[in-house]
Structure 1
Amino acid sequence: MTKPSSNRKKATSAASNNLKATARSAEDIFDPENPATATITVTAAEVEELSEMEERDRLHLERRVERAFFEAGKALAQLRDRRLYRSTHKTFEEYCRSRFGYTHRHVNYLIAASNVVDNIIMGTNGSQNEISDETATNGSQNEISDEMGTNGSQILPTSERQVRPLTKLEPSQQQEVWRQAVEQAGGKVPPARIVKDVVQRIMERTQVPNTYQIGEVCQILAKDNPELRGKGGCWGIVARVNDFSCTVKSWDGEYTVGLQHLKSYNYLPAECEQMRVICDRINRVYSSGLEESVQKFLEMLGKLNRAYLTELEEKVLSLLESEFGYEM
């Protein structure tokens, strides 16, 4: 016995051409003795089309959502660099925490992410094509060109987490990683997982052997790494050698730093030992709790590019040690 065919009407909807959607059956007529004569009444509901202006507004609003992290990063960088917080707060960190509820780390992530997006734009367009500072300052994103949208010819990040793995790479590497990640995502905005995987493969392929030795004195290069903000130019003593990083002891604690963010001073063994002693002395006094002016002095010693203290620096440090009961 041949089973009677069942025809099912499938409801479809496409935003591009605003097709009419099919509604559920409003009235069914069915004769159990003669199934072939069954009648299904179908009503159609019309999808309201958007006007040209509404389509344009929708596109602008979608892009504002996508680029919210980018605009935040650019604005925060201006607030920091121009010190526009100085009338109400002593430090930028206090201002961001009070005004936006942002931690210091989150602010650095946003600023670093906006720099990465600039690099991606530069790599795709062949020239710097940033969103203008005027746009960022005025808070309007309706002036962003269509070519920069994820709906246009260029696929750009839509969240800070997508580009966070890129901050540890050079600009040219950032551009290459993003291109590969977009390809793997099928020409769409890639999730952070795909970006992280591509970054890991590139780092493993281009990684050079770790040639640093315990006790070696190195300079920290902050570059665009938000986690090293404030440490650029500081020196540290290598305390542990890892596969792709070193743990260095600085004047205010220990930090794990990638090889790309370290530069050896090439000091002689005797000079390295002398700097180790100085580091221990500074660290011991700094952890005792000091006035801000005294902290600044120790921070200055933490950025010396010579393997010794001047006579005056030695006297001041010795005075601080005696103040807290420390003796050489």
Structure 2
Amino acid sequence: MNYNSTPLALVSEREFVATESSSGDDFNRFTPEEAASGEILAPLSPEEQRDRHLLELKVRQAFYQTGKALAQLRERRLYRSTHRTFEAYCQARFGFSRRYSDYLIAATVVIENLQQMRTNRSQNQPHEPEQFDENNVSALQARILPTKLEQVKPLTSLKTANEQWQVWYQAIEAANGKVPSGRIVNEIVAQLKKKPLVLAQHDWQVGDVFTLVNLEGQQRKYNGCCCIAKELTDSTVTVEVHDATMSVKLENLNEIASSDDKRQLPQTLRRVRRLREIESLDRGAENLLKDLSKRTNLTPVEEGLLSWIENYYRVTE
């Protein structure tokens, strides 16, 4: 999957209208400032109404910026001066559990995938009408993006950007052209997963690499870890991670798109697994190896640290 890292673009006024409603009447329905009793406290001008709704949209989409920031903190390990793990850092600094932090980071990827699919659709339909009205619902729906984390969570379990887009588009249709609730999105994802999941043999072979997502129970600690596929049995796959071999469902496998990562990752996991077999492994080495098990590729510094540990314990190819 190609993870576009371009920040979410600012939403234009027209796109905002498309995001919040499928018609001008629905947009006007939100315009008065009303107290609980229905009394109009202070009428807003049309310009103020638009500004208010645009600002409210930014507040509702704050989860995206939070997820982007967390992703950089984790990727660059900027927590290392005060905390041993990213999980401890998030809990201490923000009160976030590791699961919630992972959801926020995964949600940014989904948003960017939806953005990219929307861009591709627009490029493939250069003559799409610009007026958003009841006769142009498809064009309007193509511009709607999630506004809450609850709407995105179910989409993080889908493996490809195309699946995420298809489910999101169906959810918009189910919500009559408006922003769908998290419940609607979750129901559509659940229906999709009830269908037989078949991984074509020509698309899968022993040795392919993936990252693990949406694992639950005792396997939850492996979310985000890289794995190597070893055997396909009906709707499950036996995989190797850095310290175990286990069976997971097909929807728990997130495809790694980069050909360079696909080449490097199996070798990295083998090296990590060899080191993990050492009984007297130092806790510093153990923590580093656990972190490296979630990297699809190694930086020069990470490669150097891994080589140093191998030399220290005299473990070589």
Note the residue ranges of structure 1 that are not aligned, 5 or more in a row: 1-13, 24-43, 130-146, 264-277, 304-312, 319-328
Which one has a larger percent strand, Structure 1 or Structure 2? 1
Per the alignment, residue 283 of structure 2 pairs with 291
Query: Equivalents in 2 of 1:77, 1:88: separation in Å?
Result: 18
Q: Please tell me whether the aligned partners of residues 67 and 101 of structure 2 are also in contact (alpha carbons under 8 angstroms).
A: yes
Query: Equivalents in 2 of 1:20, 1:174: separation in Å?
Result: 37
Query: Equivalents in 2 of 1:210, 1:123: separation in Å?
Result: 24
Which one has a larger percent helix, Structure 1 or Structure 2? 2
Q: Please tell me whether the aligned partners of residues 174 and 184 of structure 2 are also in contact (alpha carbons under 8 angstroms).
A: yes
Measured against aligned partners, the alpha-carbon deviations of 1:225-279 in whole angstroms (never above 9, x if no partner) come to: 69655521x44766xx76532354645346553334589xxxxxxxxxxxxxx97
Q: What is the TM-score when the length of structure 1 is the normalising length?
A: 0.53
Q: Please tell me whether the aligned partners of residues 172 and 178 of structure 2 are also in contact (alpha carbons under 8 angstroms).
A: yes
Per the alignment, residue 306 of structure 1 pairs with none
Per the alignment, residue 115 of structure 1 pairs with 109
Please state whether the residue corresponding to 2:177 is helix, strand or coil.
Answer: coil
Per the alignment, residue 86 of structure 2 pairs with 92
Note the residue ranges of structure 2 that are not aligned, 5 or more in a row: 1-27, 124-131, 133-139, 257-271, 296-309
Per the alignment, residue 183 of structure 1 pairs with 173
User: In the TM superposition, what is the alpha-carbon distance from 1:109 to its structure 2 partner?
Assistant: 0.8
Q: How many residues align?
A: 234
User: In the TM superposition, what is the alpha-carbon distance from 1:184 to its structure 2 partner?
Assistant: 1.1
Query: Equivalents in 1 of 2:45, 2:98: separation in Å?
Result: 44
Per the alignment, residue 157 of structure 1 pairs with 146
Higher RCO structure, 1 or 2 (CA under 8 Å, sep 6+) = 2
User: In the TM superposition, what is the alpha-carbon distance from 1:111 to its structure 2 partner?
Assistant: 0.8
Matches within 5 A, 1:1-328: 15=29, 48-126=42-120, 154-167=143-156, 168-205=158-195, 207-208=197-198, 220-222=209-211, 228-232=222-226, 234-235=227-228, 243-246=234-237, 248=239, 250-253=241-244, 255-259=246-250, 260-261=253-254, 290-293=282-285, 296=288
Q: Please tell me whether the aligned partners of residues 236 and 250 of structure 1 are also in contact (alpha carbons under 8 angstroms).
A: no
Q: 1:177 to 1:82 in 2, by over 3 A?
A: same
Q: 1:243 to 1:317 in 2, by over 3 A?
A: farther
Give the superposed CA RMSD. Answer: 4.9
Q: Percent identity?
A: 36
Query: Equivalents in 2 of 1:237, 1:70: separation in Å?
Result: 35
Query: Equivalents in 2 of 1:189, 1:297: separation in Å?
Result: 42
Q: 1:316 to 1:219 in 2, by over 3 A?
A: farther
Q: What is the TM-score when the length of structure 2 is the normalising length?
A: 0.55
